[in-house]
């Protein structure tokens, strides 16, 4: 899957984060309003790479008459990496059987006849990330043979409440207590797979008391040198300066001039 397809979901996420950009360059200022573009026909399916990271891949998904049929198509795609099978593997095994799905208010109930996984946290992240993209779905619940689950067979992670986007994706924190006593912040890094650059979402767990500047700096911070990931090339040299603030749903971000193409224009690929 080409990078330009993968970027669709990334841009939407960045737009949500950078609702309104504000950049100071020397004594002048340049502002740019960023809008969210909704690509309803594109959905991201996540697969597992050789380093144990979930990699989102974009697919064009449209024309399904019901939510149930769309969910089952996404689930089938999660079980088969297709042309990427040499580099990525399905996080959902073929012997995991999804029997039915029910939307109860805004919670999607996934009813399994059989459920098998060796990667418990990644499995939960993948299901949540994939199905919470759907319109009207803000969380998921898992059932096995009509019994509601609060843990998977391995029993490492408890989930008494519906799983939501707050769970995050590619968490480094494996313990239940860290997953639920912190806020999640999704940051995108880059990874080269088969000579193509993929954007990889990584959830950082941050203190609920952290301020706005700390959260923004986490978005553009360098990844650990021991990681197989790298900072996205577009973010190299960008710094968050003092003076960012949130007002009536608009986020004003004060950055250095590394975001500029020239003295009067912003690099549109950044946002």
> What are the counts of helices (DSSP H) followed by strands (DSSP E) for the chain?
5, 14
Instruction: Considering only residues 262 and 45, tell me which one the structure prediction assigns the higher pLDDT.
Output: 45
> How many Cβ atoms are within 10 Å of 220's Cβ, its own excluded?
19
**Most confident segment among 44-53, 148-157, 187-196, 215-224:** 44-53
Backbone angles phi, psi at 189, to 5 degrees: -115, 180
Q: Where are the alpha helices (DSSP H) in 19-149?
A: 67-78, 120-131
pLDDT category, 19, cuts 50, 70, 90?
very low
Average pLDDT across the chain, whole number: 76
Instruction: Considering only residues 19 and 106, tell me which one the structure prediction assigns the higher pLDDT.
Output: 106
Tokens of 214: 């700390």
For residue range 103-152, list pLDDT tens digits in order: 999 999 999 999 998 889 999 999 999 999 999 999 999 999 999 999 98
Is residue 168 classed exposed, middle or buried when 0-12, 13-18 and 19+ CB atoms within 10 A define those classes? buried
Residue-level pLDDT at 18: 40
Instruction: Considering only residues 271 and 69, tell me which one the structure prediction assigns the higher pLDDT.
Output: 69
Residue-level pLDDT at 178: 54
pLDDT category, 88, cuts 50, 70, 90?
very high
Cα(215)–Cα(125) distance, integer angstroms:
22
Is residue 65 classed exposed, middle or buried when 0-12, 13-18 and 19+ CB atoms within 10 A define those classes? exposed
**Most confident segment among 93-102, 147-156, 174-183, 215-224:** 93-102
**Most confident segment among 50-59, 68-77, 235-244:** 68-77
| 8 A C-beta contact, residue 91 and residue 56 | no
Residue-level pLDDT at 149: 94
User: Is pLDDT above 50 for 92?
Assistant: yes
Tokens of 97: 């059987």
Residue-level pLDDT at 73: 94
Secondary structure letter of residue 241 according to DSSP: P
**Most confident segment among 15-19, 244-248, 266-270:** 244-248
62 to 42, 128, 169, 246, 252: CA distances (angstroms) = 8, 20, 25, 36, 35
34-56 average pLDDT score = 79
User: Is pLDDT above 70 for 23?
Assistant: no
Cα(121)–Cα(144) distance, integer angstroms:
17
Q: Residue 58: beta bridge partners?
A: 44
Least confidently predicted of 71-75, 114-118, 138-142, 177-181: 177-181
Cα(65)–Cα(63) distance, integer angstroms:
6
pLDDT category, 20, cuts 50, 70, 90?
very low
pLDDT category, 29, cuts 50, 70, 90?
low
Tokens of 152: 């998977």
Tokens of 158: 């408890």
> How many Cβ atoms are within 10 Å of 28's Cβ, its own excluded?
10
Q: How do the residues of the chain divide into helix, strand and coil, expressed in percent and rounded to 5? A: 25, 35, 45
> How many Cβ atoms are within 10 Å of 63's Cβ, its own excluded?
9
Instruction: Considering only residues 211 and 117, tell me which one the structure prediction assigns the higher pLDDT.
Output: 117
């Amino acid at each position: 899957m080409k990078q330009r397809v993968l970027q669709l979901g990334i841009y939407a996420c960045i737009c949500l984060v950078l609702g309104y950009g504000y950049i100071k360059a020397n004594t002048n200022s340049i502002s740019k309003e960023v809008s969210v573009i909704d690509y309803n026909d594109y959905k991201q399916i996540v697969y597992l790479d050789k380093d144990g990271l979930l990699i989102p891949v974009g697919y064009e998904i449209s024309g399904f008459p019901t939510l149930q049929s769309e969910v089952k198509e996404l689930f089938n795609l999660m079980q088969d990496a297709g042309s990427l099978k040499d580099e990525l593997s399905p996080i959902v095994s073929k012997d995991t059987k999804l029997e039915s799905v029910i939307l109860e208010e805004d919670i999607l109930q996934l009813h399994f006849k059989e459920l098998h996984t060796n990667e418990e946290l990644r499995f939960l992240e993948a299901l949540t990330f994939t199905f919470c993209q759907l319109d009207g779905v803000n969380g998921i619940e898992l059932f096995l043979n009509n019994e509601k689950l609060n843990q998977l067979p391995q029993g490492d992670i408890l989930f008494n409440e519906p799983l939501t986007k707050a769970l995050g994706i590619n968490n480094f924190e494996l313990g239940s207590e860290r997953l639920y006593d912190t806020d999640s912040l999704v940051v995108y890094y880059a990874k080269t797979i088969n000579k193509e650059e993929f954007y990889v979402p990584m959830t950082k767990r941050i203190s609920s008391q952290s301020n706005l500047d700390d959260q923004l700096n986490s978005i553009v911070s360098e990844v650990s040198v021991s990681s197989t990931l790298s900072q996205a090339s577009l973010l190299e040299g960008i710094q968050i300066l003092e003076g960012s603030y949130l007002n009536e749903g608009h986020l004003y971000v004060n950055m250095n001039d590394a975001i500029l193409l020239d003295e009067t224009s912003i690099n549109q690929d950044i946002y």
